[in-house]
């Protein structure tokens, strides 16, 4: 969080080295602590050569148990390891044998601090067990391993797949599918690599080499964003970039321009050549000083392109300042595993919290019950369980300095009202901690006024006790007097009843409670943290809050008081009082609500207080779910011990773990200098630049994601910045990808944090989420150490453990903030030629106001004609021909040719080319398929309905004809049959019309989708084209600048040869004038190109609008014609025998054969039309309004029961 030590940091991080004993594997006996009936198993414990995974292979088993090294948090040996409790298990393991305990080994692993698992092992000899204990812990906690490059992450995934190989030498396909979210793409990529051509359930282990795995990943994820970056480097549709282009990329894009060029000089050609040799595998290209896209991609993945400087992860801060000058990683109610009211208390939590680097832990101590009378730790007057005080002290002694050698602070909340048990507590601390416990103050730092606190370096390996002091040992401190000195504190299992509570209040405490309500939040020496919060409440609410909580801490005995030195808690009586007392070893604790009140009311005083004395903030009692407040609030005012509930991995805890990961995981972070120096004042609410501090502008662009989750879902990314109130920005958010979590690409532009006032106190958080809001991973980056350029961010879990493959490709840039009023000055320094040109133009404009008209005419005569000629007018229509912006080439090498050769044309696409793009044609194919399926379904429905009606009519007709019926009667029956068919055909037509409206609606919807897609494609293409034009103009300008600089040096050398007494000012002035003319020519050519460019865009837009109108009109005409043809379509379902009947015999079906449409006239040879007149009228109405598919008809609908013949 603070500035670096002066000079260049010498890296001291340990490299990842796997001990030979771990690589070859060792025999251990594994036993289960929870099962007495289980049989101990002999097996092999082994670590791969890269230190990625711990494997266990039991004798006679084929399955290998694989444990990720990043999840291992501790190893314990001997008396600290778990030992078998069951007598039968002890007998099986020969527990009584000498030296048994020294061969015990326990490996602890898990995904958070609460849910941990234990592997209980018995070594065959003590030496091997010791090696595994030390070396495995070093591997699991190695800082470089947890902050490795993306290449190493991919190699770890490759190693995991290889470890899953079975005894047959094959890797089951299920392990590939667990890593990647898209099964179809995995199978396709494997076929392209010839890994699984026969689509079997496994592949050969030997076939999967590292090179084949990389090829598989390349086929699995096509990376168009890498191609874009490669082209920006200068590839220009070539498969390579030159050494000079790569040099420019490294120095211009990847290097922080603010770096001191003496301490951090830009790279040179020979250095860049070495980088290319490391990553370019194509030797022929390397010989030509070329870097391929594949080599460029490898560089981006490599350790040379890490997202953070490694020195920031090392012990980077000066550890010789006063304790008050550091933020200290602190825990609240450390023993709890769940909420504040119920759940288990755990000794293991103390170990786990200390292993994360926490340096301040809390112990709530209560009086033990007979007969043992052993003090215990729990959350008073709640349903949480109890743990022995001695066990906690032993756990702390064993784990305190495993993660960090810097001092540990034990914050006691002492409710043990037994002098005997307090003496026992003090004795446990003395004997178990031994020399690690700091009892007497250091000679250099006596407990006197104005004496500063010792530094973390002075207290290396020491444990400090924070507990109230006995009054006679510290007479100047004020402690609240007990109204009933003989009243013992309530025991853990006998909470206060209502009567007891009223009795205590009636003995004098009621007035103090009322007084505390008026002066809230001030907790004195002897007051518990819970009590401080209770005092802040009105009396009516206080009684309810006090139920089940301790009223106050008890008086400290002399034994406990003697253990307290530099961390003495006192009642906070105001900042003025602390200033008068000048005792830096006194500190106060504040509940978060009181701390926020101070933050709002006394920010300056609080900052001044925290420069010399310690303060501790803790969560309010109403956070019964163990949620956390945002720690950044109190870091902003310099509070050192901002205590959080470590069991809850919410956003505040994630921020805390991410911030304290740095400075060697020491648990101490040096505060910014402005928060420690007595001669500096600082307003945490300031919106202005702070004197002596350079504000930053931070730009973040999220480019793409890689293997974010194993689910096929949409994902999005958020970017937040935490710092001072003015700096904090929440939240920038990308769009959600379309069901792609494997390789999503975003084009949301830059997220800009315009002014970060105090960069050394600010943190950038980049986090990824599934479309439903489920957390995927994140990373916390200190703003003061951001590395510029294109970087991969490997994501972490809520517990800050690295994820295997999830990463984001981002572009990050942090630069010095420049206020708007200074931008012109900065631009003048950056581009002096442009600045001079602007000044000359302004001078000429002012000349018209400063001189007479005659002088103006004289001045005008001296101006070249080229400057007086009018600018070419824009064409009146975008379809008119535009003048060519590139002049015709000439043979002589003039300056004009030089500029023209630099300005290149940018190819563009036509509207028709865009319409042929894959994503649009794909949409059309999908729409055609959907429409064909709908029409097929509708036709099938009509056919089925027609067959049903046909069968019913024929059945009734045949049933009505009797033997011996006359021809006249049969003729009448046939007429009735024809009449029934007329009614049924009309019903079919109405059904077909309603189904057709579905088809019509789908066609209109498809056309709307297609048009929207085309509009979007045109807009995106034009935006991309515009960006490319802007980038091209910038590159052309830079290229000309380089050429002109070379020309200047060459001309200067030649001029000095001719005239040794050459005056440099005259030479430079002439050169600048020449450059100004050339840049004017360049700007003119670029302006003409841009005009032509914009006209093409306008023409494309107009063509698109015209085309869309035309397509809509064509579709409407087509739909109307199809609607008219529906009767003809329905007529095909009329039985053939009825169609062949005579047309002029009075049959109602006689008009069928000549019928073309419902709007055509009745044929002359037909006495009866096919459809009734009412239906003809209905068809006419429908044609007028196609959206009405249910037009009325006077023809009655006949049910199946009415289809009979009389």
Token pair belonging to 387 = 């743990």
User: Among 427, 395, 393, which Cα is nearest to 412's?
Assistant: 393
DSSP one-letter code for 532: H
- Cα 331 from Cα 348, distance rounded (Å): 14
Contact 631, 619 (CB under 8 A): no
Known binding-site residue numbers for Ca(2+): 333, 362, 364, 413
- Cα 476 from Cα 482, distance rounded (Å): 18
Query: What are the respective helix, strand and coil percentages of the chain, to the nearest 5?
Result: 45, 15, 40
DSSP one-letter code for 505: I
User: For position 840, what pLDDT does the model report?
Assistant: 65
Burial pattern 946-973, b for ≥16 Cβ within 10 A else e, equals: beebeebbeebbeebeeeeeeeeeeeeb
Tell me whether residue 379 is one of the annotated catalytic residues. Answer: yes
User: For position 584, what pLDDT does the model report?
Assistant: 96
User: For position 1148, what pLDDT does the model report?
Assistant: 39
Known binding-site residue numbers: 333, 362, 364, 413
In the chain, the N- to C-terminal Cα span, in Å, equals 101
User: For position 965, what pLDDT does the model report?
Assistant: 66
CA atoms within 13 A on the CB side of 452: 15
**Which helix (DSSP H) or strand (DSSP E) does residue 1109 occupy?**
helix 1064-1124
Domains and CATH numbers, the chain: 223-305 (1.10.238.10), 324-482+514-541+549-675 (3.20.20.190), 696-817 (2.60.40.150), 819-862 (no CATH), 912-958+968-1128 (1.20.1230.10)
- Strand locations in 32-133, DSSP E? 41-47, 53-58, 65-68, 72-77, 104-110, 116-123
Token pair belonging to 120 = 């209980």
User: For position 929, what pLDDT does the model report?
Assistant: 87
- Cα 791 from Cα 324, distance rounded (Å): 36
- Cα 273 from Cα 271, distance rounded (Å): 5
Token pair belonging to 557 = 């005995």
Burial pattern 183-213, b for ≥16 Cβ within 10 A else e, equals: eebbbebbeebebbeeeeebbebeebeeebb
User: Among 610, 628, 805, 788, which Cα is nearest to 708's?
Assistant: 805
Token pair belonging to 739 = 């069901």
Contact 112, 649 (CB under 8 A): yes
Token pair belonging to 903 = 């300005």
User: Among 412, 414, 381, which Cα is nearest to 490's?
Assistant: 381
pTM: 0.67
Kind of pairing between the strands at 586-591 and 568-569: parallel
Token pair belonging to 404 = 């960090």
Burial pattern 1042-1080, b for ≥16 Cβ within 10 A else e, equals: eebeeebeeeeeeeeeeeeeeeeeebeeebeeebeebbe
- Strand locations in 252-351, DSSP E? 290-292, 326-331
Token pair belonging to 1 = 């969080």
List per-block mean pLDDT (blocks of 10 residues) for the chain, which spans 1206 residues: 50 90 95 77 95 91 87 95 88 83 95 94 94 96 95 96 88 88 87 79 90 93 92 87 94 89 88 94 92 95 92 93 98 94 94 97 94 93 93 97 97 94 96 96 95 97 93 44 36 37 36 38 41 42 36 82 95 94 95 94 94 96 93 96 96 96 96 92 87 90 95 94 86 92 93 93 96 96 95 96 96 87 54 60 57 41 37 35 38 55 77 80 86 86 82 78 70 79 83 86 87 84 81 82 82 80 73 80 83 82 85 87 84 68 40 39 37 39 37 38 43
Question: 332, 665, 1025, 1155: which is the annotated catalytic residue?
Answer: 332
Residues in the chain: 1206
Residues with Cβ within 8 Å of 310's Cβ and at least 6 positions away in sequence, in order, are: 11, 13, 144, 147
Quickly count: other Cβ atoms within 10 Å of residue 997's Cβ: 16
Contact 336, 379 (CB under 8 A): yes
- Cα 1063 from Cα 158, distance rounded (Å): 66
Question: 153, 321, 325, 379: which is the annotated catalytic residue?
Answer: 379
DSSP one-letter code for 745: B
User: For position 570, what pLDDT does the model report?
Assistant: 93
Kind of pairing between the strands at 463-466 and 408-415: parallel
The β-bridge partners of 463 are: 408, 437
Please give the torsion angle defined by the CA atoms of residues 178, 182, 184 and 190, in that order, rounded to the nearest 10 degrees: -60
Task: Tell me how far CA of residue 296 lies from CA of 253, 318, 354, in angstroms.
Answer: 14, 38, 42
Task: Tell me how far CA of residue 701 lies from CA of 140, 298, 750, 756, 1029, in angstroms.
Answer: 33, 21, 5, 17, 20
Contact 509, 487 (CB under 8 A): no
Token pair belonging to 234 = 């200068």
Alpha helices in 141-199 (DSSP H): 143-146, 150-163, 173-179, 183-192
Task: Tell me how far CA of residue 343 lies from CA of 114, 336, 411, 1060, in angstroms.
Answer: 12, 7, 22, 90
């Amino acid at each position: 969080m603070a500035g670096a030590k002066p000079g260049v940091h010498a890296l001291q991080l340990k490299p990842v080295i796997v001990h030979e004993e771990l690589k070859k594997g060792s025999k251990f006996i594994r036993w289960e602590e929870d099962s007495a009936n289980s049989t101990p198993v002999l097996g092999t414990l082994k670590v791969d050569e890269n230190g990625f995974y711990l494997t266990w292979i039991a004798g006679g088993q084929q399955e290998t148990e694989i444990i990720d090294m990043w999840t291992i948090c501790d190893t314990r040996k001997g008396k600290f390891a778990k030992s078998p409790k069951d007598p039968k298990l002890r007998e099986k393991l020969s527990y009584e044998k000498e030296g048994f305990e020294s061969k015990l080994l326990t490996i602890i692993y898990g995904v958070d601090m609460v849910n941990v698992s234990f592997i209980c092992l018995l070594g065959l000899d003590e030496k091997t067990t010791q090696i595994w204990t030390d070396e495995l812990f070093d591997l699991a906690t190695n800082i470089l391993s947890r902050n490795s490059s993306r290449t190493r992450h991919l190699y770890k995934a490759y190693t995991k797949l290889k470890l899953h190989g079975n005894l047959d030498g094959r890797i089951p396909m299920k392990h590939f599918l667990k890593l990647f979210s898209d099964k179809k793409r995995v199978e396709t990529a494997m076929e392209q690599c010839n890994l699984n051509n026969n689509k079997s359930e496994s592949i050969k282990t030997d076939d999967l080499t590292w090179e084949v795995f990389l090829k598989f990943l390349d086929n699995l994820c096509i990376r168009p964003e890498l191609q874009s970056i490669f082209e920006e480097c200068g590839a220009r549709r070539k498969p390579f970039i030159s050494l000079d282009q790569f040099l420019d990329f490294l120095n211009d894009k990847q290097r922080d321009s603010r770096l001191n060029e003496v301490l951090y000089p830009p790279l040179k050609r020979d250095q860049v050549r070495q980088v290319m040799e490391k990553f370019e595998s194509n030797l022929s290209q390397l010989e030509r000083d070329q870097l391929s896209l594949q080599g460029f991609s490898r560089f981006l993945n490599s350790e040379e392109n890490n997202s953070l400087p490694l020195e920031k992860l090392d012990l980077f801060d000066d550890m010789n300042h006063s304790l008050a000058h550091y933020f200290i990683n602190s825990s609240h109610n450390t023993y709890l595993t769940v909420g504040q009211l119920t759940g288990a208390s755990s000794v293991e939590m103390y170990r786990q919290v200390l292993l994360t680097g926490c340096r301040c832990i809390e112990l709530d101590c209560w009086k033990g019950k007979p007969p043992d009378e052993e003090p215990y730790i729990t959350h008073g007057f709640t349903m949480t369980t109890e743990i022995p005080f001695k066990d906690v002290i032993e756990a702390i002694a064993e784990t305190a300095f495993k993660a960090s050698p810097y001092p540990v602070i034990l914050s006691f909340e002492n409710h043990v009202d037994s002098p005997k048990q307090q003496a026992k507590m003090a004795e446990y601390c003395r004997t178990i901690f031994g020399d690690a416990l700091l009892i007497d103050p250091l000679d250099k730092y006596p407990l006197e006024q104005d004496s500063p606190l010792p530094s973390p370096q002075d207290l290396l390996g020491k444990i400090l006790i924070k507990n109230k002091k006995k009054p006679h040992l510290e007479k100047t401190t004020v402690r609240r007097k007990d109204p009933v000195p003989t009243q013992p504190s309530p025991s853990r299992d006998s909470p206060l009843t209502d009567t007891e509570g009223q009795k205590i209040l009636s003995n004098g405490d009621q007035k103090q409670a009322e007084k505390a309500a008026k002066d809230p939040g001030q907790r004195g020496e002897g007051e518990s943290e819970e009590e401080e919060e209770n005092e802040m409440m009105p009396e009516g609410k206080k009684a309810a809050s006090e139920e089940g909580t301790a009223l106050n801490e008890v008086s400290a005995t002399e034994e406990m008081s003697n253990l307290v030195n530099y961390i003495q808690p006192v009642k906070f009586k105001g900042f003025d009082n602390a200033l008068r007392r000048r005792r830096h070893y006194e500190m106060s604790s504040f509940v978060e609500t009181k701390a926020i009140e101070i933050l709002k009311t006394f920010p300056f005083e609080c900052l001044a207080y925290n420069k010399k004395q310690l303060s501790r903030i803790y969560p309010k009692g109403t956070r019964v779910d163990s949620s956390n407040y945002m720690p950044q609030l109190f870091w902003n005012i310099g509070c050192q011990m901002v205590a959080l509930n470590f069991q809850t991995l919410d956003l505040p805890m994630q921020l805390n773990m991410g911030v304290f990961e740095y400075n060697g995981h020491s648990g101490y972070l040096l505060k910014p200098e402005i928060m420690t120096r007595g001669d500096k004042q600082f307003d945490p609410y300031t919106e202005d630049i702070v004197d002596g501090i350079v504000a930053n502008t931070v730009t973040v662009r999220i480019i793409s994601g890689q293997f974010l989750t194993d689910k096929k879902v949409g994902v999005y990314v958020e970017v937040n910045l935490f710092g001072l109130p003015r700096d904090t920005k929440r939240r920038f958010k990308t769009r959600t990808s379309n069901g792609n979590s494997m390789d999503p690409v975003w084009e949301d532009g830059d997220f800009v944090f315009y002014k970060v006032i105090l960069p050394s106190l600010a943190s950038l958080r980049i986090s990824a989420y599934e479309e439903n809001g489920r957390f995927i991973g994140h990373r916390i980056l200190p703003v003061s150490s951001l590395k510029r350029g294109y970087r991969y961010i490997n994501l972490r879990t809520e517990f800050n453990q690295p994820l295997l493959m999830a990463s984001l490709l981002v572009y990050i840039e942090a630069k010095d903030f420049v206020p708007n009023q200074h931008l012109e000055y900065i631009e003048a320094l950056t581009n002096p030629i442009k600045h001079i040109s602007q000044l000359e133009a302004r001078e000429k404009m002012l000349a018209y106001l400063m001189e007479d008209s005659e002088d103006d005419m004289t001045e005008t005569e001296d101006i070249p004609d080229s400057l007086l000629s009018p600018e070419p007018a824009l064409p009146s229509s975008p379809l008119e021909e535009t003048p060519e912006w590139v002049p015709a080439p000439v043979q002589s090498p003039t300056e004009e040719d030089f500029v023209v050769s630099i300005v290149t044309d940018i190819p563009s696409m036509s509207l028709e080319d865009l319409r042929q793009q894959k994503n649009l044609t794909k949409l059309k194919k999908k729409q055609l398929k959907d429409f064909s399926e709908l029409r097929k379904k509708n036709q099938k429905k009509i056919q089925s309905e027609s067959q049903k009606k046909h069968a019913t009519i024929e059945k009734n007709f045949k049933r009505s004809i009797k033997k011996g019926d006359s021809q006249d009667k049969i003729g009448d029956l046939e007429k009735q049959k024809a009449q029934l068919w007329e009614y049924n055909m009309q019903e079919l037509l109405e059904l077909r019309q309603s189904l057709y409206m579905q088809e019509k609606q789908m066609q209109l919807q498809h056309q709307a989708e297609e048009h929207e897609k085309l509009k979007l494609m045109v807009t995106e293409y034009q935006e991309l084209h515009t960006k490319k034009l802007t980038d091209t103009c910038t590159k052309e300008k830079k290229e000309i600048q380089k050429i002109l600089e070379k020309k200047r040096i060459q001309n200067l050398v030649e001029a000095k040869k001719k005239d040794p007494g050459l005056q440099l000012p005259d030479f430079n002035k002439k050169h600048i004038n020449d450059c100004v003319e050339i840049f004017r020519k360049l700007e003119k050519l670029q302006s003409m190109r841009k005009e032509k460019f914009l006209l093409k865009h306008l023409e494309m837009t107009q063509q698109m609008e015209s085309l869309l109108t035309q397509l809509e009109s064509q579709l409407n005409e087509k739909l109307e014609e199809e609607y008219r043809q529906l009767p003809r379509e329905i007529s095909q379902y009329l039985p053939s025998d009825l169609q062949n009947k005579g047309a002029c015999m009075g049959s109602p079906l006689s008009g069928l054969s000549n019928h073309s449409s419902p709007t055509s006239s009745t044929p002359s040879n037909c006495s009866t039309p096919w459809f009734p007149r009412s239906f003809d009228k209905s068809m006419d109405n429908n044609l007028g309004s196609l959206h009405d598919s249910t037009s009325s008809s006077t023809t009655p609908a006949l049910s199946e029961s009415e289809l009979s013949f009389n």
